[in-house]
Amino acid sequence: MQPTTTQLLQKGFYRFKVGRFECISVSDGSYDYDPKLMFSGLPEDKVKEILHHHHIPLDKLTSPYTFLFVDTGEHKILADMGAGTLGPNTGKLVNNLKLAGIRPEDIDTIIITHAHPDHIGGTLNEEGKPNYPNARYIMWKIEWDFWFSEEASKKVDEHLSKIVPTEIFMKIAHGQLGPIKDRIEFITKEIEILPGVSLHFAPGHTPSHLAISFSSEGEELFFTSDTVVFPFLLERPDLVMVFDMMPGIAVHSKRKICDLVAERKALVHAQHFSPFPSLGHIIKKDKGWQWKPYYYQIEGLRSA
């Protein structure tokens, strides 16, 4: 019998394999957004039409916050650090890793895809110490430079302040990342950062947003992070979200990454995609793409 999404969420994690890599999809909780505030430059009636078409309630869009742990056999890798105390139902990542048998101190590499609060808010614990004390952190240099510049507040205020107050973005970026600066390895080009682990430049959501691919024994998994924020946006490449700080560049990155994973038939882990554990395939459909989530079985995965 297949476990239900509710059962998987209650467990807090889901194990699967990519070649010889042991992978775990880990829940950090969820966050409720007002979907009427998520679109840029659209009249209210058009927004309501889009939401109705995709069966999204007008008052609330509940987004899973799902993160990825990968054990390559040589390295234990975490993609982003969770949201911490951003919302009333976030901050579960560390505990759910422990429930899955992963000690935070055993994680040796953390890849920061971008510096939005839901991806870095869980960097430090309540005492201000790193939740992952023995990890090195990988981050694109331009991303760091942006969040510690005067331009950042202006950009956040322009694009994101209706969703989360600007001061929260800046406080979390400075407060969570500042104390670990000496642990961060800054990169400036797309590279294979570890054997079978490659970084893909996908800017637009933020100035230097990253996607990550994991390849082993002919199988491939992409952690797309926020290249596409919600699955219904795959079918509408024309829609611009307030989350995307550089909208035109974000559209280009979306096409680049989605076309790539569709062509390669790669497994995709997308942080905000339902249902948990946010795994599936992205396939070409008309002028866009379609999300094909997976059902889950004790012995593995099969397509929806």
Q: What is the CA radius of gyration of the chain?
A: 18
Confidence of residue 1 (pLDDT cuts 50, 70, 90): very low
Burial of 65 (0-12, 13-18, 19+ CB in 10 A): buried
Q: How high is the pLDDT of residue 241?
A: 86
Per-residue pLDDT band at 162 (split at 50, 70, 90):
confident
Helical segments of the chain, H only: 5-11, 44-53, 93-99, 117-120, 141-147, 150-159, 166-177, 247-264
Domain extent, residue 295, equals 5-303
Lowest mean pLDDT among 46-55, 134-143, 202-211, 282-291: 46-55
Residue 153: burial class (beta carbons within 10 Å; 0-12, 13-18, 19+): middle
Structural domains counted in the chain: 1
Report DSSP state, residue 179. G
CA angle, 38 then 44 then 50, to 5°: 65
Mean pLDDT of 133-159: 93
- Averaged pLDDT for residues 41-64: 89
pLDDT > 90 in the chain, percent: 76
Amino acid in the structure at residue 269 = H
What is the rounded distance in angstroms from the CA atom of residue 136 to the CA atom of residue 285?
39
The four Cα atoms 135, 141, 142, 143 give a dihedral, to 10 degrees, of: 10
- Supply 216's token pair: 């082993």
pLDDT at residue 82 above 60? yes
Q: How confident is the model at residue 304 (pLDDT cuts 50, 70, 90)?
A: very low
Indicate which CATH number applies to the domain containing 191.
3.60.15.10
Q: Can you tell me which residue has the tokens 């509408």?
A: 236
pLDDT at 275 over 50: yes
DSSP 117: H
Confidence of residue 175 (pLDDT cuts 50, 70, 90): very high
Averaged pLDDT for residues 56-84: 96
C-alpha span between 296 and 300 (Å, rounded): 7
